Amino acid sequence: MAMANFLALFLLMELIAGGYRDGANGLSMNYYVFSCPFAEPIVRNTIASALQSDPTLAAGLVRMFFHDCWIQGCDGSVLLDSTKNNTAEKESVGNLSVRGFELIDDVKGQLENQCPGVVSCADIVAMAATEAVASSGGPVYDIPKGRKDGRRSKIEDTFSAPAPSFNASELVRAFGQRGFSARDMVALSGAHTLGVARCSSFKNRLGDPTMDSDFSKTLSKTCSGGDNAEQPFDMTRNNFDNSYFQALQRKSGLLFSDQTLYSDPRTKSIADGYAKNQATFFLDFQQAMVKMSLLDVKEGSKGEVRSDCRRIN
């Protein structure tokens, strides 16, 4: 009995100290449990409070995570400011929809006061995205922590990101090159259930005869306000739900890269399934987001823990 109790205690301590571990990169669900035990509550509470004041920030935080991870891996590179000799990622046209930089600064400042030099900016971005999804009514899930911050951020690196003009084949290929299945790609596209897009991203669809006629009129009216005029992706812009996929069924996808998911047999059936069953979408989305969080993780001397998320140490 004593040996059984000892083994049980040993396994419990291993779980607390290690949690989920990825053998390739050493990340852990409970990475900060000893080094900065209040890290996750600080991130969670600060993000949740900000979203109560401004629910539209959720979309920007989820975009921040995706745009960070897609370029050079999840390393906080999207947070770095431009310098005299370098134009950073955040200046890219594709990053205009990313918001929440000041909020990340706020979280980082609190964490530096609690445990200086411990929690990376890359982890803050990743944790902020999970809280943004949960606070908007989406799935509640966790991701492993322990990423290091990168030292490179160049606008030209963003040119490889998927574009609003991509068709389904191009999307499947682009995501496949990063290790994602077609199902992962459709699930991640469902993040467009949050937020808006500017007319400059969808004006090429104006007059598209395959679009729902009423929706077409709505987009034309929106774009009469100019390229920066905004249109929600679906009718519940601040709620994380499956309305995005239901919009595709109505031929009311906002971007070409949205509606194309419903025109290709490889992705149409997946989109249909998510439109009918929100729980399935939620499950696939959280699994794809965990996979996204593991892209090109930096460890050891390949990265650092910035003291200021906008500048390398």
What amino acid positions are annotated as catalytic residues? 67
Helices first, then strands: H and E counts in the chain: 13, 2
Burial of residue 12, with CB atoms counted within 10 A of its CB: 0-12 exposed, 13-18 middle, 19 or more buried? exposed
68 belongs to an annotated ligand binding site: yes
179 belongs to an annotated ligand binding site: no
The string of DSSP codes covering 156-174 is GGGGGSPPTT--HHHHHHH
73 belongs to an annotated ligand binding site: yes
What would the 3-class secondary structure string for 138-160 be? CCCCCCCECCCECCCCCHHHHHH
Burial of residue 88, with CB atoms counted within 10 A of its CB: 0-12 exposed, 13-18 middle, 19 or more buried? buried
Phi, psi of 230 (to 5 degrees): -110, 145
Calpha distance 203→222 (Å, rounded): 10
Calpha distance 195→26 (Å, rounded): 34
Amino acid (one-letter) located at 258: D
For 196, the 3-state DSSP assignment is strand
Alpha-carbon torsion (27, 131, 61, 163), positive or negative: positive
184 belongs to an annotated ligand binding site: no
Nearest Cα residue to 51 out of 137, 138, 132: 132
Calpha distance 18→28 (Å, rounded): 6
210 belongs to an annotated ligand binding site: no
What would the 3-class secondary structure string for 259-277 be? HHHHCCHHHHHHHHHHHHC
14 belongs to an annotated ligand binding site: no
Provide the 10 A C-beta neighbour count for residue 267.
Answer: 22
| Token representation of residue 243 | 């309305």
Annotated binding site: 68, 73, 75, 77, 89, 162, 192-193, 234, 241
Annotated binding site for Ca(2+): 68, 73, 75, 77, 89, 193, 234, 241
Annotated binding site for substrate: 162
Annotated binding site for heme b: 192
